[in-house]
């Protein structure tokens, strides 16, 4: 299976030992391929706005639990995904 198929995210959870999806943050740079489907899988969806997909003019996705511009910012703010 491949992204954005929901089975991809379910398989990832299975391989992580089947944690509660709400305890898992999924970080990705594409809204359509990462943020929307990981949110649908009940994970904490984090949009990393970098690279070509980070500059595509789009509204901030309602599905994102957190939006960051770098991995350094992610490390500093990851707890906010659970606020």
pLDDT, tens digit, 9 for 90 and up, residues 43-60:
999 999 988 877 776 678
Q: Rounded distance, CA 40 to CA 51, Å?
A: 24
Write down the pTM of the prediction: 0.91
**H or E segment at 72?**
helix 71-77
Banded model confidence at residue 61, pLDDT cuts 50, 70, 90: confident
Given the DSSP bridges, would you call strands 66-68 and 25-28 parallel, antiparallel or unpaired? unpaired
pLDDT tens for 1-33 read 999 999 999 999 999 999 999 999 999 999 999
Residue 39 has phi, psi (to 5 degrees) of -65, -40
Number of H helices, E strands in the chain: 4, 3
Q: Please name the residues in contact with 7: beta carbons below 8 A apart, sequence gap of 6 or more.
A: 1
């Amino acid at each position: 299976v491949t992204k954005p198929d929901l089975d991809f995210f379910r398989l990832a959870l299975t391989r992580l030992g089947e944690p509660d999806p709400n305890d898992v943050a999924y970080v990705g740079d594409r809204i359509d391929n990462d943020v929307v489907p990981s949110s649908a899988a009940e994970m904490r969806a984090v949009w990393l706005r970098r690279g070509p997909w980070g500059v595509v003019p789009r509204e901030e996705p309602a599905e994102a639990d957190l939006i960051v511009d770098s991995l350094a910012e992610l490390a500093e703010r990851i707890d906010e995904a659970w606020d």
